[in-house]
Amino acid sequence: MTKSITGQRTVLVTGASSGIGEAVARQFVALGHKVYGTSRNPDAVANPIPGVTYVRLDNEDYASATECAAAVGDLDILINNAGESAAGAFEDTPMDAVEHLFKVNVFGPVALTKAVLPRMRHRRTGTIVMVGSMLSSFPVAFRTNYAATKSALKGYAMALRREVAPYGIRVTTVEPGTIATGIGDRRTIHIKPDSVYREEYETLAAATRRNEAKGISAASMAAQIVEAALAEHPRPLYARGNRAPVVFTLQRFVPRQLVLDLTARIHGLKKVRP
């Protein structure tokens, strides 16, 4: 069993107004920790959690990251969860949409991490958790830009992990698989009505809806994030999803192309070798 950090901790959970972030915040409160949760509009959180202090954070507004870090003060655990889901044809996605997605999913979390690091380093303690996606480990067609943002976030975490380790700071990534949180209803889609990719995209979209309906709960995913955040020596990477044990094990023993073919099949796509 993983050895956990004991005692009350001050935790900041981004994107705490819904989905995984809300579930993570609830679990930290239940464990007796001091919890801050972010929202772009803290006064408009539909179902505020008793015990959570809400602060403003907009991942596209880097100044808000500095203000958020200052409002929280000394922080023990940062959960970089806030982000946006996207799908569609790479060719059909305008560059301003690509830039927006990278700001929300990568540069915003990076800005907040930079803002909280000095205090963590000075205190020689802290844990930073990047909430990624299994699509960064197992990318699939029509999720190109989203997979790229989550791959970038994981890359930051993997490199930063060693960089800040001498100062007592732990960095890890948690990759959710398919989650039943209704995120598909909020997913940004870029596919033109007359797109040559439309038929295959619709096949993937239908498979994604079926998979998400059978996905793990936000509470289950949150439990994995909380476990990673409280681990005394967290692993570089955690993953949780219905197929996570199978696909990560396969990745170790079979050729990469076979894993990519299996990933495509899970998402309803036929095997097509380049």
CA atoms within 13 A on the CB side of 243: 19
**Least confident span in 83-87, 107-111, 114-118, 264-268:** 264-268
- Per DSSP, 142 falls in state T
Query: How far apart (Å, rounded) are the C-alpha atoms in residues 226 and 216?
Result: 16
pLDDT value of residue 1: 53
pLDDT value of residue 132: 97
Please, which residues have CB within 8 angstroms of residue 64's CB and are 6 or more apart in sequence?
A: 56, 57, 58
Contact 243, 267 (CB under 8 A): no
pLDDT value of residue 2: 67
pLDDT of 248 above 90: no
Verify whether residue 36 is a known catalytic residue: no
Tokens 């439309």 sit on residue: 198
Q: Which residues make beta-bridge pairs with 43?
A: none
Query: How far apart (Å, rounded) are the C-alpha atoms in residues 137 and 259?
Result: 10
The mean predicted confidence, pLDDT, of the chain is: 94
For the whole model, what pTM was predicted? 0.93
Contact 49, 70 (CB under 8 A): no
Q: Which helix (H) or strand (E) holds 189?
A: strand 188-190
pLDDT of 78 above 90: yes
**What structural domains and CATH numbers belong to the chain?**
10-246 (3.40.50.720)
pLDDT value of residue 28: 98
Q: Give percent of the chain with pLDDT exceeding 90.
A: 79
Query: How far apart (Å, rounded) are the C-alpha atoms in residues 34 and 47?
Result: 18
pLDDT of 249 above 90: no
DSSP result, 41-59? SGGG-SSPPTTEEEEE--T
More reliable by pLDDT, 147 or 262: 147
CA separation, residue 33 to residues 7, 13, 16, 88, 226 (Å): 8, 12, 15, 40, 11
Q: pLDDT band at 199, cuts 50/70/90? A: very high
Q: Give percent of the chain with pLDDT exceeding 70.
A: 99
pLDDT value of residue 102: 98
pLDDT of 201 above 90: yes
Of the residues 146, 156, 201, 238, only one is catalytic, namely 146
Count of Cβ atoms closer than 10 Å to residue 142 Cβ: 26
Q: pLDDT band at 262, cuts 50/70/90? A: confident
pLDDT of 185 above 80: no
Write the single-letter amino acid at 124.
R
The arithmetic mean of pLDDT across residues 146-150, rounded, is: 98
Query: How far apart (Å, rounded) are the C-alpha atoms in residues 196 and 72?
Result: 49
**Least confident span in 74-83, 107-116, 147-156, 244-253:** 244-253
